[in-house]
Structure 1
Amino acid sequence: MNSEKRQLPRWIYAALLIAAAAIWGLSTVVIKDTVASFPPGWLVGIRFLAAGIVLSVALLPRMVRTLNADHLKTGALLGVFVGMSYLLNSTGLAYTTASKSSFLTATYCVLVPFLSWAILHKRPSVYNISAAAICILGVGLVSLQSSASFSLGLGDSITLASALFLGAHLALTSKLAPGRDILVLTALQFIVAGLMGLAWGAVSEPWPTPEQFSPDMLFNLAYMVLAASCIALLLQNIGLAHIPPAPASLFLATESVFGVAFSVLLLGEVLSSQMVFGFILIFFAIMVSEYFPTSKFMKRVLAKRQK
């Protein structure tokens, strides 16, 4: 039986998205220096191809039973967007700071309602747009702690392009996942993204040397393959199959909250009042998107406007 036919309460799918964000938030601590010492194309290639192989082996009976031309085509399309988003993001990170990268990547929250309009033909509501704007302000307060002026360089522009592909992937997943096996699609996405990364690395980057595969690097790769890819992206894709992309992007934006929280807990970073206010804005954005449209107060306001 296809798992997509068994509908669970919406809050469970929201919890899956938040769990994915928590895993990615921890990854900012675990793999903080990986991109600086390992070519980004090879990193994306090894990460996703290994994740695709692991997931395919784990799902082998399901893959044999479900895999067909439709799943191959859909998985390949989604895999291209995954590959481009991570390749651009990893490349951009080599030319910008981690805090600016976090903020610029999170701009997909603002892009998703409009990308969903283009892809799903579903016009964003005032709640979607307002929540996205509030969320990106909150992420900015959490991520950008420097008082220096903000300017866009090469790395920042590349990171913004990665956010565009990431937002398009969210919208496309919401459109294409229903009616298909999301677990099989996820494995296929990983394999396609991994092959893209290896091709990118082989053409444009130096080949990794045995010395680069230190115990710390192997630990980071294992975390990226098993936790940040197999588990987190699988949770994200399952959630996206049941929650529209605009509110889903807000749940995923809590990654910045978890990233700072883990940095405070594990690295001893100081929690500032600016960060706390940013957290509050992010959670308020989720409330605006999820609960304001269905609240009795807002229903009365809208009813009065229609009279």
Structure 2
Amino acid sequence: MSTPALSLRRAPDATAVIVMVALCAAWGFQQVAIKEANASFPPMLQAGVRSAIATLLVWLWTRSRGDALFKRDSTLGAGLLAGILFGGEFVCIFFGLTLTTASRMAVFLYTAPCFTALGLHWFVAGEKMRRVQWLGIVVAFCGIALAFADGLLHADTNGAPALRGIAGDALAVLGGLFWAATTVVVRASSLAHASASKTLFYQLAVSAVLLLALALGLGQTHVDVASVTPLALASLAYQAIVVAFISYLTWFWLLTRYMASRLSVFSFLTPIFGVTFGVVLLGDHFTLRFMIAAAMVLTGIALVNKPARSR
């Protein structure tokens, strides 16, 4: 899988639009799948196994295509860094979902495009932010502040203290920051010239080692086989095959061909899908204050990724 030169990256065409909508739906459902599997598997073990399975799938994929994953191309340092950031994102997601709802996770996690726009502005030539994007960031972060204020005033659906939910929300925002940092590293380093499969392999392989080591260190390696349900197994398979393998490989392939800031405009669809799935499948509920906050976050994301007018 060859990678085009940076100068050839272009605005998304119809194919990219369709693919991005499908990816957003898959990512929006991910929080529901993790939440379901958390009932049977310890969070860190689940995250590590997910990355390990996807790593094997990416390796098999590259072998079938004759791509060389291990040739010297000066990407090792950037790849290790991207893998560490990628692993940090999923530590936040999997732990966070034990503290907050899937719907709230979807809203807070997908603040990532705002962090991405800031990172690209500072580190990648040709992706400087405009006034409307700065406005979007202000609106989005005002929405985050309002959502956190709402969390402080209300207990979660299980009746746990509000502080517990706030911790989960904070982990979701931190996960979004890790995700954005990963994207910036991919775009601003030698990984920008690497194949999508190699970029993803770095992240999955490094995160698998880190997450499984963390699971071992935290004593999260025991699984009660009797409590493992078919739905939990299906949720784990969905995360590993559909999300971590197929969707991420597709995402990094898109990053090699289209402008990252233009692709991110579709990210506001993901929390919409995530909230919808959370309400319909998990029975999540919201206050009016949180709904207003979520609308502000989505508006900010849309403004941050608003395409520039052609001169």
Instruction: Determine if the TM-score, normalized by the shorter chain, exceeds 0.5.
Output: yes
Offset at 1:107?
Answer: 2.5
- Provide structure 2 residue ranges, at least 5 long, that are not aligned to the other structure: 155-161
Distance 1:141 1:227, change over 3 A: farther
Counterpart position of 1:95? 99
Of 222, 226, 230, the residue aligned with 2:241 is 226
Distance 1:197 1:259 in 2: 24
Distance 1:9 1:117 in 2: 17
Counterpart position of 2:135? 130
Counterpart position of 1:160? 173
Is 1:289 matched with 2:291?
no
Q: What does residue range 1-307 of structure 1 map to in structure 2 within 5 Å? A: 2-4=2-4, 10-11=12-13, 12-62=15-65, 65-70=68-73, 71-120=75-124, 122-134=127-139, 148=153, 153-176=166-189, 177-211=191-225, 212-262=227-277, 282=298, 286=302, 289-291=305-307, 293-294=308-309
Distance 1:271 1:39 in 2: 27
Offset at 1:56?
Answer: 0.8
Range 260-269 or range 186-195, more displaced? 260-269
Q: Which amino acid aligns with 2:305?
A: S
Distance 2:293 2:170 in 1: 27
Range 121-130 or range 136-145, more displaced? 136-145
- Identity, % of aligned positions: 21
Q: Which amino acid aligns with 1:217?
A: A
Counterpart position of 1:304? none
Offset at 1:236?
Answer: 1.9
1:34-88 deviations in whole A, cap 9, x for unaligned? 2344222111110011001012112215465353233444332211111111112
Q: How many residues align?
A: 295
SS of corresponding position for 2:193: coil
Counterpart position of 2:159? none
Range 239-248 or range 262-271, more displaced? 262-271
Offset at 1:197?
Answer: 0.8
Distance 2:143 2:20 in 1: 18
Distance 1:113 1:10 in 2: 17
The question of whether the paired residues in 1 share the 8 Å contact of 2:96 and 2:172 is answered with: yes
Compute the RMSD of aligned alpha carbons. Answer: 3.8
Distance 1:248 1:63 in 2: 28
Distance 1:156 1:251, change over 3 A: same
Distance 1:208 1:134, change over 3 A: same
SS of corresponding position for 2:25: helix
Distance 2:31 2:50 in 1: 15
The question of whether the paired residues in 2 share the 8 Å contact of 1:28 and 1:259 is answered with: yes
Distance 1:4 1:109 in 2: 23
Distance 1:281 1:164, change over 3 A: closer
SS of corresponding position for 1:94: coil
Q: Which amino acid aligns with 1:225?
A: A
1:173-209 deviations in whole A, cap 9, x for unaligned? 2224432111222123211111111010011133222
Distance 2:297 2:67 in 1: 46
SS of corresponding position for 2:38: helix
The question of whether the paired residues in 2 share the 8 Å contact of 1:46 and 1:194 is answered with: yes
Distance 2:26 2:84 in 1: 23
Distance 2:138 2:214 in 1: 34
The question of whether the paired residues in 2 share the 8 Å contact of 1:52 and 1:191 is answered with: yes
1:109-160 deviations in whole A, cap 9, x for unaligned? 3322222233325532223223445566789999999894587743333333
Distance 1:289 1:88, change over 3 A: closer
Distance 1:197 1:63, change over 3 A: farther
Q: Which amino acid aligns with 2:29?
A: L
Distance 1:140 1:257 in 2: 19
Relative to the length of structure 2, the TM-score reads 0.76
- Provide structure 1 residue ranges, at least 5 long, that are not aligned to the other structure: 300-307
Range 271-280 or range 257-266, more displaced? 271-280
Range 260-269 or range 73-82, more displaced? 260-269
The question of whether the paired residues in 2 share the 8 Å contact of 1:173 and 1:241 is answered with: no
Q: Which amino acid aligns with 2:59?
A: S
